[in-house]
Structure 1
Amino acid sequence: MKLWWKSGAPWVWLNAGAVAISVIMVVGLIGLIAVRGLSHFYPTEIVEFQVGDPELGLGQMVMGEHVRAETIPVPVARDAGIAVPPELGDGELVTRHLIKQGNRDVTGNDFAWYADLQMTEWQAPPDAMRLERREWGDFYGYPLRVLEDGEVVAEGEGLWDTVQSRVARANILYGELNRVERNDVGVISSEMEELRLRERALQRDPDIEPAALQAQLSQIQDRQAILDQEFQVLSSEIDILRRELYRDTLVATVTGGQEVQIRVGDIVRAVKPNSLTLTDKVVEYLQQFWAFVSGEPREANTAGGIFPAIFGTVTMVLLMSMIVSPFGVLAAIYLREYAKQGPLLRLIRISVYNLAGVPSIVYGVFGLGFFIYTMGGSIDQLFYSERLPSPTFGSPALIWASLTLALLTLPVVIVSTEEGLSRIPSSVRHGSLALGATKSETLWKVVVPLATPAMMTGMILAIARAAGEVAPLMLVGVVKLAPTLPVDSTFPFIHLERQIMHLGFHIYDVGFQSPNVEAARPLVYATALVLVILIIVLNLTAISIRNRLRERYRAASD
C-alpha cells in the first residue's frame, strides 16, 4: 500500500475522477437545457375534459395542452381552492395538472391548475386546433368557417385547407408590410431627419452668406417635397396591404360553444396536433424551431423568435475581438520584449492579473461613465451638435458595449500572449540574430508567428467570457427590445451607435422580468441552449484556426 501511495497512482486516479465528474456535470447540464428547451417545439396533444365540484357535479369544459403535473398535500390543495372530498385526510396527497388553455382574450388566463379529483377522463379530439397569434397568445378551439369581407368562403369540408392557404397568404402580406414599414419608410424617415438636421446646422452657421443659405435651404425643401411624395405613395401601399392582410376572418368555437372571430392576419401558424402523423410532427417541430431561431420576439419576449438577440450577440463579440486583439497582443509584446525589467514592470503585471478578477459590473459602470458620458458626449458635441440634446453616441450603444467587453477581456489576452512568448526557446532568438536578422525582424517574423497559437488561446477565453456576460451590458448598450438591427441597407450600413439585443440579457429578461412566467419558462431553456451552441461554435472556430496555425508553424520550424 505504501509503495502504491508513493508511486503517485492515487493522485492520477483522483485527477481522472475529478475530470470525469466535471465532464458528467457539464454534459448533464447541457442535456437538461437541451431536453427542456427543445421539447417546447414538439407538437403537444390537445386534450379536452370537464371539471367541477365532485359533490355538485361537472360543468366547465377545458381544452388545452398539458404542461406538467405535481403532487401536493391535501391542506395545500384546500388552500388553493380545490374541492377535496371530506374522506381524504390531511396526510394524503392530491395530484394537480397545469394546463395551457390559451384563449387569453376569452378566459383571461393562459395557464390554470386543475386537480385530477375534479377532472373527467381526457379526450383528444382530432379537430381541435391551435392557433399561434401575434397578440393574445395561443388560441385553442374548433374552426367553423372562413369569412372574406364578411362573406362565407369556406365551411365544412375543405375548411382546413382554406384556413392553411389563407394563413400562408396573410404571412406573406405581413412580411411585405413589415418590409415596407421598416425598410422603405425607414430610409425615407432617415433621410428626412438628415435634411432636418442639415437645415438646422445651416441656420446656426454664422459664417454662411445669406444667398448661399437661401440656395441650400431651397435645395433641402425641394428634396423634402420629393420625399413627401414618396412617403405618400408608400402610405397608400401600406393601406392597401393592411386591408388585404385583415380581409379574412376565421370563426371558431371555444369549449362551451362560444363563437370567436379571429383575424387571419393575426395568425402566425395554424395546426391540428391531434391529427398529425409522426412525419408531420417532425416537420412541424423543425418549422417551429426555425421560426424561433429566425423570428423576432413578441408578447414581451414570451413568444416569437430570438434572431435579433443572436445577431446582436455575434456582432458584439466579433467587434470586441477586433478591438481587443491588437491592443492585447501589442501590450503583451511590449511588456515581454521591450519593457525594462524592474519594480514598475512587476507592478504593472500584478495590476493586469488583478484586473482579470474585477467584477464585470465594475467594468459596466466604468464604461457608462467614461465611454458613454465622456467619450460619447464629446463626440456629440464635436460632430453631432445639431442633434443635441438628443444624443447620438452619448447613449448606450453597440460600440460602447464592445469596448467595455474588450476592456474586460484585455487581461486574458495579455496574459495568454505573454505566456506564449515566454515559451519560445531562446535558441530560436539567438539563431535568428546569428543569421543577421535584427531584433525587430526576429520578433515579428520568428517569435510572434510561433506564439500565435497562444494568442488564439487568449482569444478563445475572451470570446467565451464576452459572449456570456450580462451585468455590464445592461449599462452600456443592451436593451430588452431593439427596434432595428445594427446592420442594414441604410448608409453607412453598420450603425455602431444603435442599441442591440443580447442572448444573455434576453435570458435574464425572460426568466426574471416576464409577466407570463409559465409561457417564458421553456423559452429560457431554449435561449440558453442557443447561447451555449453559439459559444461552442465561436470557440470551435477559434480552436480550428489555432490548430491550423500551430501545425503550420510547427512544420515551418521542422
Structure 2
Amino acid sequence: MKQQNLKTWFKSGTPWVWLNAGAVSIAVIMTLGLLAVIASRGLAHFWPADVIVADYQVPGQATRLLAGEVVEMEEVPRARLAASGLPVNAEGGEFMTRELLKVGNREVYGADFSWVVGEWLSNIRTPAELVAIERREWGNFYGFLVNVKEEGRLVAEGDAAWPELQRRLQRVDALHGEIKDVEKHQIGRINHGLERLRLKTRKLELEGRLDAAAQADLAAEKAQWDAEYQVLEARLGELYQAFNRDSIRVRTADGQELDISLGKVVRAYQPNGMSQLEKIGHYFAKLWEFVSDEPREANTEGGIFPAIFGTVLMTLIMAVIVTPFGVLAAVYLREYARQGVLTRVIRIAVNNLAGVPSIVYGVFGLGFFVYVLGGSLDRLFFPESAPAPTFGTPGLLWASLTLAILTLPVVIVATEEGLARIPRAVREGSLALGATKAETLWKIVLPMASPAMMTGLILAVARAAGEVAPLMLVGVVKLAPSLPLDGNYPYLHLDQKIMHLGFHIYDVGFQSPNVEAARPLVYATALLLVVVIATLNMSAVYIRNHLREKYKALEH
C-alpha cells in the first residue's frame, strides 16, 4: 500500500516541484549572499574608521610608534610567521594575530599599508586630536596638526589651527571647482574650436581652396580664439596662485614633521573625535563622491562617474542599434521567409552565434569595424585628419556596434518566439477586414509581440553591460580625460574612447600598483555595476509589463 502511494506521489510530479523550488531557493540565497558580501566589503570602505596610535615592539628592536586604521585581522600559525623571518618565540599558542594597518604617509614610510603582529602592539589609544587628511595625491596622511600658514606666514596653531584649517579648506574647494570649470569646460571649448579650425584649414588646403581671403578669415577666427585663451590663461594663473597660497604643518605619530599645501588636500577630519551623526554625514559624502566624481591616484581614489556614464551611454546606444536589426531579422524569418532547409540553417546559425565567446566578437569588431569600416570612413570623410585617425581607432561607436552584434542573436530568438505565440486567427481576422499584410504586421502583430521584443532587449542589456573582454579591443580605456557627451559640437562624440565599470573592476583589481588600497574599490564598483544593470533591466521590465497589459485584450 505504501509502495503504491509512493508511486502515485512520484507520478503526480510533486517531488519535482519541490526539487525545483529548492533549487531556485538555493540560487536566490547564494545570489543574495554574494551581494551581501560585496556590499559589506565595498560600502564599509567609506566609513570613517577610528585611527589607533600604538607602541610597536618587535623582539630585539627598539619600540616605535605606529598610527593607522585597522583594515584586516587574521590568525596565522606561529611557524608561518617564524618562516617569514620575524623573531617569533617558539613558546606560546599555535596561532598569533596579524593585523593590516593603513598607515598612510606614503612619502614618509614608502607604503600606505603595513602588516604588524597584534601581540607586539601595546598602549593602544585613539587620540581625539589625531587628523586624517585625504589628499589628491600620495594617499592619506595620519598625524597631528601643528599649524596653518598663509604664504609661509603663521596664521594659527594649537587649538585655533583646526577651525582655521576647515575654513580655508572650504575656500580651496571653491577654487578647485573654478579651476576645474576653466580647464575642462572653457579651455576645453577653446581647444576644441582650435582643432576644428586646424582641420578646416587642412581641408581647404587639400581641396585647393586655401586662397588669401580664406586665410584671412581663418587667421581672424584663430586670433579670436587666442584672445579668449589668453584671458582664461591669466585667470587660471590667478586661481592657481590663490589655490596654492595656504599650507599646513603636520607631525606624524613618531615625530616627523612636513608641510602640505592645501591645494593637495581634499578633506581633513578627526575620525576619533567625530560623533556618530558626523560619521554618518561623512560616510554619505564619501559615497556621493564615489558615484559623482572623477578617479584619481591610478583609479584607487576619488569617484567613478566617467565609468558609470560610459557604461550607461554605450549600453543605450547598443540597445538603439540592436533592437531594429533584431526585430527586422525575426520578422523576416517568421513572417516572410519560406520555411525550408535554408531558413532552418539560418536559425541554427543564429542560435550558435549566441554561444560564441565574446572575445571573438571583440577581434571581429577590431578588424572589421575599426580597421576596415573606420579606416574607410576616415579616407572618405576625414582626409584632413590624416595621419591621425578619427573613426579608424577604437571608440564609443565601435564598442556599441560590437556589443550589438554580440547580443543580436538573443533579440532575434526572443522576438521570433513572441511572433510565433500570436494566434493565426488574429492575422486572418485583420486580413479579412481588408488590411494588407504590411498593415497587419505593423498595427497588429508587432504591437502584440512587443513584450517579447522587450524580453530580448532585457537579456541583451544584461549581457552587454557586464562584458569586458571585447571592449578592451574596441574602445574602453583605463582613464578617459573627458566624457563623450558635452557641449562641443557635435555634442555626442562617437569616435571618443570611454571608461567602463567592468573594465574598471579589472583594471583596479588586477593592474593596480597599490593592491590593498584597490581591493575595497573592486567590491564597491562591482556592487555599483550590479545596481546599474538592475536599473536598466527594471526600466525595460516596466515597459514590457506596460505593453503586455496594453495588448492583453487582443490576445483573447
- TM tier, shorter chain? over 0.9
How far off its partner does 1:86 sit? 4.1
The corresponding residue for 1:466 is 464
Measure how far apart 1:374 and its partner are.
Answer: 0.5
- Return 5+ residue gaps in structure 1 as ranges: none
The amino acid that maps onto 2:7 is: K
Q: How many pairs does the alignment contain? A: 551
Provide the TM-score with structure 2 as the length reference.
0.97
1:121 shift after superposition: 3.4
Residue in 2 that maps onto 1:132: 134
Quick check: 1:40 aligned with 2:45?
A: yes
Residue of structure 2 equivalent to 1:30 = 35
1:281-328 superposed Cα distances (whole Å, 9 cap, x missing partner)? 111110010001101111111111000000000000000000001000
Per-residue CA distance 1:68-89 (angstroms, 9 max, x = gap)? 1111122221233322124348
Match of 1:19 among 21, 24, 42: 24
Q: Which residue of 2 aligns with 1:54?
A: 59
**Which residue of structure 2 lines up, in the alignment, with residue 84 of structure 1?**
88
Q: Which amino acid aligns with 2:428?
A: H
CA distance in 1, matches of 2:419, 2:227: 63
Q: Which among 174, 194, 201 is matched to residue 196 of structure 2?
A: 194
Q: CA deviation at 1:231?
A: 1.2
Counterpart of 1:294 (choices 268, 276, 292) is: 292
3-state SS in 2 of match to 1:377: helix
Aligned residue among 270, 273, 284 for 1:272: 270
How much has 1:186 moved relative to structure 2?
1.1
> How far apart are residue 198 of structure 1 and its match?
1.9
Bigger drift between 117-126 and 394-403 goes to 117-126
- Give the letter aligned to residue 491 of structure 1: Y
5 Å-filtered alignment, 1:363-402, equals 363-402=361-400
Q: Hey, what does 1:168 align to over in structure 2? A: 170
Check whether the contact 1:54–1:117 (CA below 8 A) recurs between aligned residues.
no
Q: For 2:204 and 2:450, how far apart are their aligned partners in 1?
A: 52
Separation in 2, partners of 1:31, 1:533: 13
Verify the 8 A CA contact 2:371 2:393 in the aligned structure 1: yes
Measure the CA separation in 2 of the matches of 1:81 and 1:289: 40
Residue 124 (structure 2) aligns with: 122
Q: Which residue pairs with 1:244 in the alignment?
A: 242
**Sequence identity (%):** 56
Q: CA RMSD in A?
A: 1.2
- Among 315, 318, 325, the residue aligned to 1:317: 315
Secondary structure of residue in 1 paired with 2:258: strand
Q: CA deviation at 1:555?
A: 3.9
State the AA in 2 paired with 1:349: R
- In the TM superposition, what is the alpha-carbon distance from 1:229 to its structure 2 partner? 1.7
Amino acid at match of 1:439: K
2:232 matches 1:234: yes
CA separation of 1:372 and 1:455: change in aligned 2, threshold 3 A: same
Separation (CA, whole Å) in 1 of partners of 2:91 and 2:298: 45
- Unaligned stretches of 5+ residues in structure 2: 1-5
Q: State the SS of the aligned residue for 2:551.
A: helix
Aligned to 1:181: 183
Find the aligned partners of 2:351 and 2:407 in 1 and give their Cα distance. 11
> Is the deviation greater in 115-124 or in 246-255?
115-124
Give the conservation status (yes or no) of the 8 Å contact 1:84–1:117: no
- Superimposed CA distance per residue, residues 481-516 of structure 1 (whole angstroms, 9 cap, x where no aligned partner): 001100011111110000000000000000000000
Partner amino acid, structure 1, of 2:309: F
Among candidates 482, 485, 493, match of residue 484 of structure 1: 482
Shift of 1:429: 1.1
Measured in 1, the distance between the counterparts of 2:448 and 2:90 equals 80
Between the aligned partners of 2:555 and 2:340, the Cα distance in structure 1 is 33
Mapped partners of 1:467, 1:542: distance in 2: 14
User: Contact 2:422 / 2:555 at 8 angstroms: preserved in 1?
Assistant: no
Which of 498, 521, 532 is matched with 2:496 structurally? 498
Secondary structure of the structure 1 residue equivalent to 2:32: helix
Amino acid at match of 2:192: S
Q: Do 1:328 and 1:414's aligned partners in 2 also have CA atoms closer than 8 Å?
A: yes
Which residue of structure 1 aligns with residue 509 of structure 2? Answer: 511
- 2:423 corresponds to: 425
